[in-house]
């Protein structure tokens, strides 16, 4: 993470692309791209599907009707510092505000992490909340990205949640195995295996090109240890909004024991309007991939709507 690319100008130079004539400064959401992810991009191709996910463009500066700072109502669902409780039987802990990559469509790109309590010293309210709610059977660790924490800090949080008897499952939502696969180590996998609660890992991959040999090998370490892996993807214009791109992604996932879980309609966060694909187009694509893939390879196409008690299947 210390070696990550932190400016659009450097991103353009490293990929041998002509510099654009605009200022990319977005102080609330700066460029952040690890070199491990950058190496999977095609130099000289401004349409590379991995590059498009992380490259700031001028359209981000233009306000668009309906695109807001908190499109899924996270702030209204804060039940304690660092904990979001929207859905029955499960609660989400904002383990950290740090992430291993800044995806330009991120629905939490303007989330006030410091104010909402996402640092290690602020975990206690979230832990106390879960301990006092026997109806919460599943804890989701999110952020940011919980795997940007050191092993000692991550395992401290996991062990404290694992010590709560009514917590049956701990789910880790992470993009780190995709963008910096070396984060998955034998020692970490062993610790995750040893929890009393069942550990699940949900990764975030949008395009088959993200799944290179190293990523697949590291994810296999989790699968080989009996830790189930699910994938969430977002339907993104210019990235994966074709039948072949989605079929290739979902096929590659199941070939390596990763279950396609959700395909998300874009959350309408401010600055991401250029990624939006219409729901009609999404439904057409789902119909086509359903005819080409076995049922377990077809994710549920969903939208997250503020105030609803679950994701909304489309």
Residue that has been written with the tokens 């990205």 in this structure: 145
Nearest to 205 by CA among 269, 254, 148: 254
Residue 166 tokens read as 């009514």
Report the Cα–Cα distance between both ends of the chain, in Å, rounded.
36
- What pLDDT score does 63 carry? 87
Question: Percent of the chain beyond pLDDT 70?
Answer: 96
**CA gyration radius for the chain?**
19
**Least reliable range by pLDDT among 9-13, 30-34, 60-64, 186-190:** 60-64
What mean pLDDT do residues 26-54 have? Answer: 94
pLDDT above 80 for 202: yes
Q: Are 255 and 262 in contact (CB under 8 A)?
A: no
| Residue 152 host element (H or E) | helix 151-162
Q: How confident is the model at residue 86 (pLDDT cuts 50, 70, 90)?
A: very high
- What pLDDT score does 62 carry? 86
pLDDT above 60 for 51: yes
- What pLDDT score does 116 carry? 74
Collect all residues with Cβ–Cβ distance below 8 Å to 271 and sequence separation of at least 6.
26, 29, 60, 61, 67, 104, 109
What is the overall mean pLDDT for the chain?
Answer: 95
- What pLDDT score does 14 carry? 96
Q: How confident is the model at residue 28 (pLDDT cuts 50, 70, 90)?
A: confident
pLDDT above 90 for 114: no
Classify strands 83-84 and 78-80 as parallel, antiparallel or unpaired.
antiparallel
What are the two backbone dihedrals, phi and then psi, of residue 202, each rounded to the nearest 5 degrees?
-115, 115
Q: Are 311 and 262 in contact (CB under 8 A)?
A: yes
Backbone CA torsion sign across 82, 188, 168, 206: positive
- What pLDDT score does 19 carry? 83
- What pLDDT score does 23 carry? 57
At 50 the three-state DSSP class reads helix
Q: Are 96 and 149 in contact (CB under 8 A)?
A: yes
pLDDT above 70 for 22: no
What mean pLDDT do residues 278-300 have? Answer: 98
- What pLDDT score does 292 carry? 98
- What pLDDT score does 206 carry? 98
Residue 266 to residue 298: CA distance in whole angstroms: 18
The predicted-structure confidence for 125-165, as pLDDT tens digits, reads as follows: 999 999 999 999 999 999 999 999 999 999 999 999 999 99
């Amino acid at each position: 993470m210390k070696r990550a690319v932190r400016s659009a100008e450097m991103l353009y130079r490293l990929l041998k692309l002509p510099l654009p004539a605009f200022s990319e400064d977005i102080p609330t959401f700066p460029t952040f791209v690890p070199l491990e992810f950058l190496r999977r991009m095609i130099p000289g191709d401004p349409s590379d599907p991995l590059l498009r996910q992380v490259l700031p463009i001028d359209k981000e500066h233009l306000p668009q009707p309906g695109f807001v700072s908190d499109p899924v109502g996270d702030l209204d669902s804060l039940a304690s510092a660092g904990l979001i409780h929207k859905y029955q039987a499960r609660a989400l802990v904002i383990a950290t505000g740090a992430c291993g990559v800044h995806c330009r469509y991120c629905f939490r790109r303007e989330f006030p992490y410091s104010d909402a309590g996402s640092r290690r010293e602020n975990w206690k309210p979230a832990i106390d909340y879960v301990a006092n709610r026997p109806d919460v059977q599943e804890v989701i660790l999110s952020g940011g990205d919980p795997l940007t924490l050191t092993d000692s800090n991550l395992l401290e949080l996991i062990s404290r949640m694992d010590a709560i008897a009514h917590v049956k499952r701990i789910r880790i939502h992470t993009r780190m195995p995709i963008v910096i696969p070396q984060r998955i180590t034998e020692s970490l996998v062993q610790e995750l295996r040893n929890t009393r609660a069942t550990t699940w890992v949900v990764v975030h991959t949008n395009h088959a090109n993200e799944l290179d040999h190293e990523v697949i090998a590291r994810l296999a370490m989790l699968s080989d240890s009996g830790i189930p892996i699910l994938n969430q993807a977002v339907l993104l214009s210019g990235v994966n909004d074709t039948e072949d791109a989605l079929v290739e992604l979902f096929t590659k996932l199941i070939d390596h024991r990763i279950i396609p879980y959700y395909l998300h309609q874009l959350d309408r966060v401010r600055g991401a309007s250029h990624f939006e694909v219409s729901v009609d187009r999404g439904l057409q694509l789902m119909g086509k991939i359903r005819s080409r893939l076995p049922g377990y390879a077809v994710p549920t196409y969903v939208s997250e709507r503020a105030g609803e008690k679950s994701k909304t299947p489309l």
